[in-house]
C-alpha cells in the first residue's frame, strides 16, 4: 500500500517598506536590491540582511549615515510580526 499526505503551509508574513533619505538610492533587503522606495513581503521571525552602500546619485557622492533601526551599514534584522518601515539615511559628500 502507498499513501500520501499534503500539508498547506500558510506562514505569517509582514510587509516591510524600505526608504532612503534622500529618496531613490539603491539598497539591499534580503534577496532584493532596488531603488527606494520598495516593499517586500517576508515571513515573520525570518531574517533579512540589510545593506546600504555608499553610492553616486544624480552625479553626487552619497555616504551612508544610519539606518532608522540603529543598525550598521550591513546588518541582519528579524522580521517583526507587524508591518514595518526601515529608512537608510545618506549624506551628500
- Please report, rounded to a whole number, the percentage of residues in the chain having pLDDT higher than 70: 100
Bridging pattern class, strands 26-29 and 13-21: unpaired
The residue ranking higher by pLDDT, 9 or 81, is 81
Calpha distance 67→87 (Å, rounded): 6
Residue pLDDT, tens place only, 6-41: 888 899 999 999 999 999 999 999 999 999 999 999
Within 10 angstroms of residue 69's Cβ, the number of other Cβ atoms is 12
Q: What is the dihedral of CA 18, 21, 26, 32, to 10 degrees?
A: -10
Place of cell 559628500: 93
Calpha distance 85→31 (Å, rounded): 17
Amino acid at each position: 500500500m502507498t499513501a500520501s499526505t499534503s500539508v498547506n503551509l500558510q506562514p505569517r508574513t509582514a510587509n516591510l517598506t524600505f526608504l532612503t533619505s534622500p529618496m531613490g538610492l539603491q539598497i539591499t533587503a534580503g534577496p532584493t536590491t532596488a531603488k527606494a522606495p520598495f516593499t517586500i513581503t517576508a515571513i515573520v521571525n525570518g531574517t533579512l540582511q540589510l545593506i546600504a552602500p555608499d553610492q553616486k546619485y544624480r552625479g553626487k557622492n552619497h555616504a551612508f549615515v544610519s539606518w532608522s533601526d540603529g543598525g550598521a551599514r550591513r546588518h541582519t534584522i528579524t522580521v517583526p510580526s507587524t508591518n514595518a518601515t526601515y529608512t537608510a539615511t545618506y549624506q551628500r559628500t
